[in-house]
């Protein structure tokens, strides 16, 4: 692997007002000397824009931060950003997220996840970069029966359009690495959670509903397992990866994909149980809250999978790192943040 120094570099982060993007930018400013960050985000209203604005505000106090409002699907904009700022490292986190939303709104997935990513690849090709790191997803594994999921597994059976677009990103990155020598690393994230996270994620949505006295639906009658990965662990993983480009593989391509997951799937019912305990502890919900009256076990949703479980051996081998934050610790930090931000 080749080392890539981040000190005094210009880094382009797409989706910078998003959950992972904002945490990544913040950590880079805290830990890397002289780093300059150019952030792009279209600030869409897929979820509460106030949350994106709050994340953005926190970043904007830094003098080495430039924010560009716009879509990565806008080719002219992306070309001008590469032309003007000449980033040495690109981290593509902009994407239309969510499995269920892709069933009702397929167009935005094609626009952001396919056309947008193509524009980023073209930028890296025309204004050569030292490393392209991009977000893939655990959803590419579909209903793979082999557990835990390894990057060696075949991923030809996506069960949602979102998953199909993420698999396409990996294929497109491979092609550009082969044709134009762009060193690229894809990261298959496993259920990222934490403070200031995405309101469409279960833990956040459950909290909103419980607070409003509504019923929460637990899919597949609670027989789902998820490899929940805390945001700080994800960011540490991304920064580690940014600093090392892949060796050439057997096809002569500097291209690699890693899983970033907690390597420890949690049952949804246990997850809900810990969440409710932490919401009471943080004083978000009263001690005598009747959870049983607000829980409903329902069948599996289309596009969902029963289990996600990351094999992170390669991550450990190449970077000496694996996520380690316990679910209770992560949900505690979320509950405390929620109390401060919303109540």
Just list the catalytic residues: 162
Q: Please name which of 181, 130, 182 lies closest in space to residue 9, comparing C-alpha atoms.
A: 130
Q: Please give the Cα distance from 315 to 237 (Å, whole number).
A: 8
Q: Please give the Cα distance from 305 to 144 (Å, whole number).
A: 9
Residue 205 and residue 167 in contact, taking contact as beta carbons nearer than 8 Å: no
Q: Residue 143 has what DSSP assignment? A: T
User: DSSP of 188-210, one letter per residue?
Assistant: EE--EE-TT--TTSHHHHHHHHH
CB atoms within 10 A of CB 167: 21
Q: Please give the Cα distance from 125 to 181 (Å, whole number).
A: 8
Q: Please give the Cα distance from 7 to 236 (Å, whole number).
A: 16
Residue identified by tokens 């259920």 is 191
């Amino acid at each position: 692997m080749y080392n890539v120094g981040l000190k005094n570099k210009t880094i382009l982060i797409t989706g910078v007002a998003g959950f992972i993007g904002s945490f990544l930018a913040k950590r880079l400013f805290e830990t890397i000397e002289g780093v300059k960050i150019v952030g792009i985000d279209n600030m869409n209203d897929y979820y509460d824009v106030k949350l994106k604005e709050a994340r953005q505000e926190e970043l904007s106090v830094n003098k080495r931060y430039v924010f560009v409002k716009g879509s990565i699907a806008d080719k002219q904009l992306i070309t001008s950003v590469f032309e003007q700022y000449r980033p040495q490292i690109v981290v593509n986190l902009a994407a239309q997220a969510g499995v269920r939303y892709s069933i009702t709104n397929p167009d935005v997935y094609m626009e952001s996840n396919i056309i947008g990513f193509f524009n980023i690849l073209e930028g890296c090709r025309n204004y050569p970069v030292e490393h392209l790191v991009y977000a893939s997803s655990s959803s590419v594994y579909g209903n793979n029966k082999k557990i835990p999921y390894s990057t060696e597994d075949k991923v030809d059976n996506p069960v949602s359009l979102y998953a199909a677009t993420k698999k396409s990103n990996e294929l497109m990155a491979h092609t550009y690495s082969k044709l134009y020598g762009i060193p690229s690393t894809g990261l298959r994230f496993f259920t990222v959670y934490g403070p200031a996270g995405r309101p469409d994620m279960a833990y956040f949505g459950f909290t909103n509903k419980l607070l409003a006295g509504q019923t929460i639906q637990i899919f597949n009658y609670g027989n789902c397992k998820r490899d929940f990965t805390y945001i700080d662990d994800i960011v540490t993983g991304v920064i580690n990866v940014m600093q090392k480009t892949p060796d050439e593989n057997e096809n002569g391509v500097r291209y690699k994909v890693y899983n970033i997951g907690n390597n420890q799937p949690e049952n949804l019912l246990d997850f809900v149980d810990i969440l409710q305990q932490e919401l009471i502890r943080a004083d978000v919900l009263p001690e005598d809250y009747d959870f049983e009256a607000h829980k409903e076990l329902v069948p599996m949703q289309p596009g969902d999978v029963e289990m996600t479980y990351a094999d992170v051996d390669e991550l450990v081998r190449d970077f000496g790192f694996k996520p380690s934050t316990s679910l209770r610790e992560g949900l505690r930090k979320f509950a405390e943040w929620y109390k401060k931000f919303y109540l």
